[in-house]
């Protein structure tokens, strides 16, 4: 998975953690850093039909109210389910 933080520093703030939740309810908590380039994260194969990005936590020492993701990349393959 790749995440790109909004990064017009010092105007923008940055997140230190974000959560990814799969349709099974399983969650991954990813540590992010103050980078303008994409940040990539690897984890074991997970079968899911959706991902939810939530709980983007702002750096506590940053006073800017502008905290956002500008891009999310999810890598995988389609799996055919048997009915």
| Structural domain contains residue 49 | yes
CA neighbor of 43 nearest in space, from 67, 21, 16, 71: 21
Q: Is residue 71 part of a domain?
A: no
**Domain presence at residue 72:** no
77: in domain: no
- Give the CA-trace dihedral at 48, 1, 53, 16, to 10 degrees: 150
In tens digits, the chain (83 residues) has pLDDT values of 999 988 887 877 888 999 999 999 999 999 999 888 999 999 898 889 899 999 998 888 877 888 888 899 999 888 776 55
Residue 81 lies in a domain: no
Which residue range is the domain that position 22 belongs to?
2-62
Q: What is the tally of structural domains in the chain?
A: 1
**Residue 21: enclosing H or E segment and its boundaries?**
strand 15-22
Note the pLDDT of residue 69: 86
């Amino acid at each position: 998975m790749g995440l790109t933080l909004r990064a017009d520093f010092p105007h923008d703030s940055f997140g230190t953690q974000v959560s990814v939740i799969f349709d099974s309810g399983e969650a991954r908590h990813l540590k992010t850093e103050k980078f303008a380039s994409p940040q990539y994260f690897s984890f074991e194969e997970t079968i899911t039909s959706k991902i939810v990005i939530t709980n983007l936590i702002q750096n506590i020492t940053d006073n800017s109210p502008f905290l956002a993701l500008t891009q999310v990349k999810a890598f995988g393959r389609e799996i055919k389910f048997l009915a």
